Amino acid sequence: MNHKGLSAWQLTMMALGTVVGGSFFLGSSVAIQAAGPSVVISYILGGILIYFILFALSEMTVANPQPGSFRTFAEKMYGRGVGFVVGWVYWTGIVLAMSSEATAVSIFLRTWFPKISLPIIGSSIIIIVTLINLLGADKLSKLESGLAIIKLVAIVGFIILGIGLIFGVTPNLPKVGLGSLYTESFFPGGIGGIAGSMLIVMFTYAGFEVIGLAASETSEPQVIVPKAISYTVWVLVGLYVTAIVVLLPLIPTNILNSEESPMVLALTRWRLGWAGNVMNIILISAILSTMLAAMFGLGRMMRSLADEGHAPYWLKDKEEIPYRGILFSGGAMLIGLFMGLILPEKVYIFLVSSGGFSLLFTYLIILATHYKFRKNNGCPPMGKCQVKGYPFVSWVAMISIVLIILSMPLVEGQGSGLIAGLSLTIFYIGFYFMKKQYIKKFNKDEHTTKKRKLLKGIKPVISKWQIEFSEEFIFDQKNKGYRKMKK
């Protein structure tokens, strides 16, 4: 990394590279099915919530740009146990989620390379993503900037094509106008529909926490981080909401499915198949970009855990690039990939679905940590209070995240995600206390051993002194004392 560090633009592109991925290009169809046209409200509400979470993270980062970011802040506010649990839950959830993404990309690529097996394609992708991360933040940010621009241009391109169809300015194609919106109910699922869609919407915004993890690699975090966050929020909310508004007239919500991108379906429906094929290529690059940025965050998280004694000592990294943390995370992704091939499908989906919970759990911890941080310290030094309306908005945001977590069973397949995430959290809580008891017992045993060694060294000296003393003195019963023997 050069001495200047990451700029606000590079940090923004890295964040956008992480956030804009398969969850939007592919998964947004699930959110639209759940809420119908009212999904626009879900995206606006999600953007507002992300705004508060990001600036809560920004305030703490400006005050103390630690490599572990939210994990380190949580540990300082709530103790080592919370720091251990949130770090490992986040790391494990993202590793499992990214191994699943590698499988998804492999399936897409196998249509072009049918003779190559899924394990080889998936392993190659993970190895390439890992090796690129070993080049460092500066080189990675340049690649991420390029990939992020491709994704953003794709969304903008879809918006332009969509507007052309809606207003009838696309050559040889009819005017769509309001199209499907004529027959759609705005609130087909009512409030429950919006609540159910919020989980998927939050996933489409997920990944911005990489800004906090990368903050230690900027030259002026108190200036660069708030700028990067502002750019990220406005670009994301603006593009997402506009793209969904344009999409809704083009295709009825009841024909959307989770296997195909809603953008691809909409363009193909209006005889723009070539654009749909381009969007599929963009989808592959979007997932690869997300994996690259996720690996960046995982490496830094593992270094933070190792530095605090929460991970094996051999994972400690003294270099600017956390080579060991990156390689360890890459190895874990490979294990996750092969688990998907070996384990029964239901078991693997159960494990992978914990990734969504891990992200929401992390955001809840960020908000709770910021609440205590502001209560204890006020506004951060060298920075202004960025979260307006504290503590009211903090409580609203925390309650909102809890409600979204509780709504996971409302989305098909995500009930197992809630159970898997809770199981993962309980596992690490139990593991932490077992580790704590083991260290306590080990220290006690070590102290006892040292004491015994000390006494063992003293005893011969005492015995020798006793022998010499007894040879020169005898106990006088009459006077109740020792007297020297006559020679």
Contacts by 156-162 with C-beta closer than 8 Å and gap 24+?
156/239, 157/275, 158/243, 158/246, 158/247, 158/263, 158/267, 158/275, 158/279, 159/239, 159/242, 159/243, 159/246, 161/267, 161/272, 161/275, 162/243, 162/246, 162/247, 162/250, 162/266
* Residue 458 pLDDT greater than 70, yes or no: no
* pLDDT of 252 higher than 60: yes
**Domain annotation covers residue 219:** yes
In a domain, 480, yes or no: no
pLDDT at residue number 324: 92
User: Is pLDDT of 474 > 70?
Assistant: no
Percent of the chain at pLDDT > 70 equals: 87
The pLDDT of 187-204, averaged and rounded, is 82
Predicted confidence band of residue 482 (pLDDT cuts 50, 70, 90): very low
Residue 117 lies in a domain: yes
Q: How confident is the model at residue 468 (pLDDT cuts 50, 70, 90)?
A: very low
485 assigned to some structural domain: no
> Who has greater pLDDT, 181 or 392?
392
**Model pLDDT, residue 330:** 94
Reading the block at residue 172, the tokens are: 């040889």
Own/partner long-range contacts of 264-269 (Cβ < 8 Å, ≥24 apart): 265/29, 266/162, 267/158, 267/161
Q: Tell me how crowded residue 238 is: count the other CB atoms within 10 A of its CB.
A: 11
CATH of the domain at 92: 1.20.1740.10
Contact 337, 102 (CB under 8 A): yes
Here the tokens at position 37 are 């046209």
Read off the pLDDT of each residue in 453-479 and give the average, rounded to a whole number: 50
- How many CB atoms sit inside 10 A of residue 465's CB? 10
- The pair of structure tokens assigned to 271 is 């005889």
Domain that includes residue 265, residue range: 8-442
What distances in angstroms separate CA 460 from CA 343, 447, 454, 463, 465, one per listed residue? 62, 21, 11, 5, 9
- Among 189, 184, 171, 162, CA closest to 262: 162
pLDDT bin (cut points 50, 70, 90) of residue 328 is very high
User: Can you give the pLDDT at residue 209?
Assistant: 77
Cα pseudo-dihedral 127, 130, 135, 136, rounded to 10: 170
In a domain, 483, yes or no: no
Residue 433 or residue 170, greater confidence: 433
Displacement of CA 37 from its chain's centroid (Å): 29
- What does the alpha-carbon distance between residue 202 and residue 484 come to, in Å, rounded to a whole number? 91
| Separation CA 351–CA 15 (nearest Å) | 26
> What is the average pLDDT across 419-440?
89
pLDDT (0 to 100) of residue 432:
92
Which range has highest mean pLDDT (215-219, 276-280, 286-290)? 286-290
What pTM, to 2 d.p., does this model score?
Answer: 0.82
Instruction: Tell me if 428 is assigned to some domain.
Output: yes
Average confidence (pLDDT) over 219-246: 86
Q: What is the rounded average pLDDT of the residues 55-61?
A: 84
d(CA 258, CA 203): 14
What per-residue confidence (pLDDT) applies to 204? 85
- Mean of the pLDDT values across residues 305-327? 88
CB 20 within 8 A of CB 151: yes
pLDDT, tens only, 68-119? 678 988 999 999 999 999 999 999 989 988 888 888 788 778 877 888 888 8
Structurally, the chain folds into a number of domains equal to: 1
What is the predicted pLDDT for the residue at 455? 57
18 pLDDT tier (thresholds 50, 70, 90)? confident
Reference 207, options 1, 353, 11; nearest CA is: 11
Strands (E), 85-188: none
pLDDT digits (tens, 9 = 90+) for 112-138: 788 888 889 999 999 999 999 998 877
Per-residue model confidence (pLDDT) at position 81: 93
pLDDT per residue as tens digits for the range 340-362? 878 776 676 777 778 888 989 99
Task: Answer yes or no: are the C-beta atoms of 408 and 414 closer than 8 Å.
Answer: yes
pLDDT confidence tier of residue 384, bands split at 50, 70 and 90: low
What gap in Å lies between CA 343 and CA 359, rounded to an integer?
24
Judge whether 253 lies within some domain. Answer: yes
Residue 447: per-residue pLDDT:
61
**Average pLDDT taken over every residue of the chain:** 81
pLDDT for 44 equals 92
Give yes or no for residue 486 having a pLDDT over 80. Answer: no
In a domain, 458, yes or no: no
198: its two tokens = 């919020």
pLDDT in tens, 2-11: 445 778 888 8
Q: Are 203 and 412 in contact (CB under 8 A)?
A: no
Token representation of residue 159? 């918006």
Mean pLDDT of 211-240: 82
Give the chain's count of helices (H) and strands (E).
18, 2
